[in-house]
Each structure stands twice: as structure tokens, then as C-alpha cells.
Amino acid sequence: MSESKQFSDYKSQGHQWITLATGEYYPDILHDAKLLYTPVLVLFGQLVQSAETSQRLLLMIAEIPNQWMRIQVARVFRKYVSPNLSVEMLKKKSQAQAICDQFGYTFRSIVDVQSAFKSRPIPDEALCALLWEYKSRGQKGYDLSERFFELFNTQFPMLTIIGPKRAGQDIRAGNLFADYPNPKRPLDFVIYDEDKQTILAVGLVRYDGDRGGAQEDDRVGGYRNCADELLGYAQKHDKNIKILFVNDGPCLLLGSMWDDYSAMERRWDNKIMVATLRMIPTRLTYSWLKSEA
């Protein structure tokens, strides 16, 4: 094991090493939320009044040409008509008919939907606030990723890091290694040596602002599977690759997450590093990235 500080060594002062992303206060967000989502509610109301069934309503939503508007109206549909379905299902317009065929029997009747919608004001502040939460979802993770890329480029100008700084297509392991057994394995970044050909490290960036319980277990378990898969492949093919998990946020202080990440570092001696953004300048070193251990 390397003699440098490990993730576990920071636990007693963990609150000093995490980043608290800026949030938004309620009800301050309502003014902007109402401006943004009133057109969405108006359009949904128009479709509700003209649809003869709830199934037909979904098919009409799928025909909305503007993607952003279609997804927002689908979110409203889910709240009023079918809360059991996921937004990910509803926003795929090509699946609208199949959803109606398979789950249409669970939809609230159009008469009840019309009545419920008429009972609420336009704009409906409560619903606008809910939709606003979707708008900011993932924003903290994007901010963390962008700051990490900027910090890395400043600290290691001789190396190359690639990947989506904010929203964007993940890097697939199959595009890095032609014979990788799980080619769709998603990665957030890849770090190359000075030659811009040799891979030194790969990794993921995550902000844990509101997690716990089963979600906490899922995150750690997912990281463990990712690390075992990647490092097992590297070991088998004699590749010297490190894994860097950039994790931040207040949920690192909850439950067993800090201990679980510490155990994962020890699982592959000196091959895995878990670090918050504030740890990067001191923990992530050129010697670690280049080491053969």
C-alpha cells in the first residue's frame, strides 16, 4: 500500500473535505418556475380538453414536435394520469402506442383528469415547483465535473483528459479497448500520458447530495463492480491502468459510504483512488498516475 494518505484518513475531518453545492431557496424559485412552465400547463390543458381518452392524450403528447416541450408535458401527464410509469418511458415518443397497449388500463380516466386539472389554477405553483426540481436534477454533478476538468488541466498540463465536462455522451470502454468484455461500460473521463496514446487512468464523477439507504448501497456496489471489471481486464491484459472516482457532496458523511469507499481503495492496492474535489490537489499526483504498483 502506498504511504500517501488514503481516503479513510480524511474521515474524522470529512466535513472539511466535501463540497456543498449552491442550492435554491423556496419560494424564491416560484417566479421563474411559473414563467417557464405556464406554457407547458396551458398546452397540457388544451390537449386534455380535446382528448377523448387518456390513451389518446398520451398519443397526442407524443406528436408534440418540440422535444423539450414534449418531455415537460409528459411529466405533467405522469402526475395527472399515470404516476406508476417513469418519465424515461413516457418521453420516448416511439413507445407511446406500446405504453397505451400495455399499461393503458391503469390510466386515470380522461373525465377524472379533466376534472382534476380544472380544479387547479393556471399557473399551478405546486406543480411548477415540482417541475423545477427536474430542471436542476444533475446540475450539481455537471458543475462538479466541470470544476474537476479545470482543476486537472491546471495541475497536469502535460497530460490529456477527455470526456464530457458537463452533459454529454459517456465514453464507452469498448471504444478504448477493442476486446473489452463489456463494451458498453460507461466512463466519465480518460486520462492519457504525454504521448496522448497511453491510458493512465479512467474514472467517474458523481455528486451525492441526497442519497442514502439502498441508493447508497447501489452507488458503492456499482463502483465496486466497475473497478473489479476494469482492473480485472487490465491485469489479464498486462495494462497499467488506475481508476479515479471523484465523489463529493454531503451524503459522503452519511451511513457507511465513507468506510465503503475506503475499503474499495484497499481492495486493489494503489490502483483505485476515491477523492473529493478538495483532495485532488494533494492526493492526485503525477507519480501515482505513472506508478507501476
Instruction: Report yes or no on 176 lying in a domain.
Output: yes
Give the residue numbers spanning the domain of 67: 30-136
Does the predicted TM-score (pTM) go above 0.75?
A: yes
Examine the domain organization and report whether 165 and 182 are in the same domain.
Answer: yes
Instruction: Report yes or no on 10 lying in a domain.
Output: no
Examine the domain organization and report whether 102 and 239 are in the same domain.
Answer: no
Instruction: Report yes or no on 1 lying in a domain.
Output: no
- Per the DSSP assignment, residues forming a β-bridge with 207 are 248
Instruction: Report yes or no on 267 lying in a domain.
Output: yes
Examine the domain organization and report whether 259 and 147 are in the same domain.
Answer: yes
Instruction: Report yes or no on 190 lying in a domain.
Output: yes
Instruction: Report yes or no on 174 lying in a domain.
Output: yes
Examine the domain organization and report whether 104 and 239 are in the same domain.
Answer: no
Examine the domain organization and report whether 72 and 183 are in the same domain.
Answer: no
Cell numbers at 286, concatenated: 503525477
Examine the domain organization and report whether 263 and 170 are in the same domain.
Answer: yes
Name the nearest CA neighbour of 53 among 94, 97, 111.
111
Examine the domain organization and report whether 128 and 145 are in the same domain.
Answer: no
Instruction: Report yes or no on 41 lying in a domain.
Output: yes
Q: Tell me what pLDDT residue 280 has.
A: 96
Among the candidates 136, 155, 184, a domain finishes at: 136
Examine the domain organization and report whether 142 and 281 are in the same domain.
Answer: yes
Instruction: Report yes or no on 83 lying in a domain.
Output: yes
Examine the domain organization and report whether 162 and 272 are in the same domain.
Answer: yes
Examine the domain organization and report whether 155 and 282 are in the same domain.
Answer: yes
Q: Tell me what pLDDT residue 209 has.
A: 76
Given CA atoms 188, 174, 224, 261 in this order, what sign does their dihedral have?
A: negative
Cell numbers at 258, concatenated: 465513507
Among the candidates 119, 136, 153, a domain finishes at: 136
- Per the DSSP assignment, residues forming a β-bridge with 206 are 247
Chunked into runs of 10 residues, the chain (293 residues) has average pLDDT values of 77 92 86 96 98 98 95 97 93 94 97 98 96 82 92 97 88 95 96 96 88 62 93 95 94 89 90 96 95 78
Examine the domain organization and report whether 276 and 148 are in the same domain.
Answer: yes
How many domains, the chain?
Answer: 2
Among the candidates 103, 136, 169, a domain finishes at: 136
Strand ordering across the sheet containing 189-192: 160-162, 189-192, 199-207, 242-248, 272-275
Examine the domain organization and report whether 144 and 276 are in the same domain.
Answer: yes
